[in-house]
Chain A
């Protein structure tokens, strides 16, 4: 079965550079979520989108922005990178149905970002 695709899988950047992470949800899924997992930490929710609109926001720095496109893929843009942004970034997707129980979020393999 198709899974969530994230690209790139690994990324190395210098301080103050920008980075763009991409997420391609499972076909038919309309909701995407971004999580950040620092070294030795648990994943922390950043932001989510449903039908191209932001649906929830967590502890996402102002230097980060994200959007969901008409084909439901999402991009996380990170500017003025700092050393502390080095982390594993997960994207998850689900299918939101208003009249049914919430669907399970399926996680992608993650993008490992290293800021030097």
Chain B
């Protein structure tokens, strides 16, 4: 069965600090996709990244970076120099990459508070 665990329910940091959101996943599939979504207070789901299980290269996009480690089944997300606008709930998620089943399984989310 597929499962995504985000152990950090809530995190508070002061603006300009770096913060890392942890994500650990379980799957029996050999090919799969990992995602991160941001959900601000307005409620929409904002797509941040999709990573194929074959691509273990870390990725950086501005202040955001992702560390994918297949050996530990982790896909952690770091925000550098955090800003108040980063305050949101962040979801890590997983889906199959092969076959017809492509529903997305979400973790419980981490609520991030960036304090001014």
Whole-angstrom distance between the alpha carbons of A101 and B91 in the complex? Answer: 23
> A12-20, A41-49, A77-85: which lies at the B interface?
A41-49
> B56-64, B75-83, B98-106: which lies at the A interface?
B98-106
Whole-angstrom distance between the alpha carbons of A101 and B102 in the complex? Answer: 11
A/B pair count, beta carbons within 8 Å: 53
Select which of B50, B52, B96, B108 is within 8 A of A42 by beta carbon.
B108
Contact at B103–A45, with CB atoms within 8 Å?
yes
A92, A96, A105, A110 interface centre (most CB from chain B within 10 Å): A105
**Is A64 interfacial (CB 8 A cutoff)?**
no
**Is B45 interfacial (CB 8 A cutoff)?**
yes
Which of A's residues lie within 8 Å of B, judged by CB?
A: 33, 35, 41-45, 48, 50, 55-56, 58, 88, 90, 92, 94, 96, 101-102, 104-107, 109-110, 112
What are 19 inter-chain pairs, A to B, with CB distance below 8 A? A41-B108, A42-B91, A42-B109, A43-B91, A43-B104, A43-B106, A44-B106, A45-B105, A48-B102, A50-B100, A56-B100, A56-B102, A102-B33, A102-B96, A104-B47, A105-B104, A107-B37, A107-B47, A109-B44
Which of B's residues lie within 8 Å of A, judged by CB?
A: 33, 37, 43-45, 47, 50, 52, 91, 95-97, 100-109
